[in-house]
A and B are shown apart, each in its own frame.
Chain A
């Protein structure tokens, strides 16, 4: 546990699955050789298998007694390899309209085979039968856990948690590429760079934070989904949503690592019953499913959200709804409100 902790709240009721967060991270951090398949930030459709494939069944984290749990080391296929596209054929071989751009399976040794899997492969598939089908989007990053299983697993003490803000970082000079951290992370948010033979993951844009700028995924989110700040700052959205209103809760609390990304769980329309009538008693997304993701706290979180929504429907005021609506965008990540475009920058290295 660190002296202070920076934390995120992702409002799943506002996430549109546009992956702008994903791309902002990709362009900033993972555009170098060996990082092609990396998505430190990823948004998955749920219910779904996640990225990497079936990540919730891959173990890691700690059991109820706080003992380490064995985990699986995912393959690049599980994460989804970086696809190759037939640009040459489409743009330079004079085939006109007869050739179309399509991805190729990178493991097919140059053969023109369709990929079998990729990140967020099961996009918008969801679950349930019409008219009660449902899905929602779940963005995940390194959770910068209070009890990081990756840190505990590393035999080289290459992973540290910063006292001043709780950011979990891998020291690339100490890392020898053993990948125990990847096995031990229950959220499977650590990647391996085969070119540099080191493990890599979200760094919470620490270099931006040190200049007063919010993380790229937070600042770039067009849906105003991401609240960010110190977990002990009582004036901050994160504190109010997590501690005061208790509507933001961790994903898989049973993994035992005390993650510092919190989620406002998804509300859903009511079901239709067999007669096609609206069944207000039963939510479209089964509560059992939500409990399997967010634990028992999800019931109270959703009840609070419904109550406060009802209050505003009746013409009343709700501090909670005002926070979640995020009228003023910059208020979502106080005190990291600097505009990166207005900062002076050091000259690029030659």
Chain B
């Protein structure tokens, strides 16, 4: 996946209908349910056996940067908009992009001890995305990240989400991923459908890292 460089303001790139996005190449990302046998507890494996989750099979992703910040535009089908919950048995829609913090951090299991990954997690009931650090399942630590911002819209049965973050780790907390123009790294994606009570490892995800190449 290529992150093209454009001459556009942050506001324009945070608007899903802007000209920059109309002209940006679209990548089809194949998704599949995070495997049942990979779910971290027996309870979850039993409870979701025969109760489908992560059925979303693909999403569209475009990526741009303007030299100051990088923007990922994610579009996926979701028949119901699940924002702030109105009852305690409801869950909000969510999406995430994930990066390896070291070259060979594993995607499956969200990293491993000593080989962390970094996630930008957007949830439909949050004002802004959070930064998540992980070194394996169950180890995630969420924190606020002033370098992250987002714009989201649900219309006609689909989410349009733009997640943005400053380049080179500017304004970002220590120890979080820093994307830089002219470099190559890897990226992965995940989506949670709140209406299906998807949360934690119950999600649709891209099971392989994709190469991410940022224009200089």
Contacts and interface: CB of A to CB of B under 8 A. Distances in A.
Interface of A: 67-71, 73-77, 79, 149, 152-157, 176, 178-180, 183-184, 191-192, 194
Interface residues of B, number: 21
A75 B89 CA distance: 5
B201 interface: yes
B46 A76 contact: no
Nearest to A149: B43
Given A75-B88, A76-B88, A180-B200, A67 B46 contact: yes
A156 B43 contact: no
A58 to B, nearest CB: 11
A74 B90 CA distance: 10
A38 to B, nearest CB: 10
Given A68-B46, A157-B138, A152 B87 contact: no
A176 B142 contact: yes
A68 B138 contact: no
B85 interface: yes
Nearest to A193: B88
A79 B87 CA distance: 11
A132 to B, nearest CB: 39
B197 interface: yes
Contact of B46 (A70, A75, A155, A192): A70
B138 A67 contact: no
B43 A183 contact: yes
Interface in B60-109: 85, 87-89
Interface SS, B side: loop
A68 B42 contact: yes
Given A71-B47, A73-B197, A157-B138, A152 B42 contact: yes
A31 to B, nearest CB: 18
Contacts of A179: 88-89, 199
Contacts of A70: 43, 46-47
B85 A156 contact: no
Given A68-B42, A180-B43, A77 B87 contact: yes
B40 interface: yes
B88 A192 contact: yes
A2 B106 CA distance: 35
Contacts of A152: 41-43
Contacts of A74: 88-89
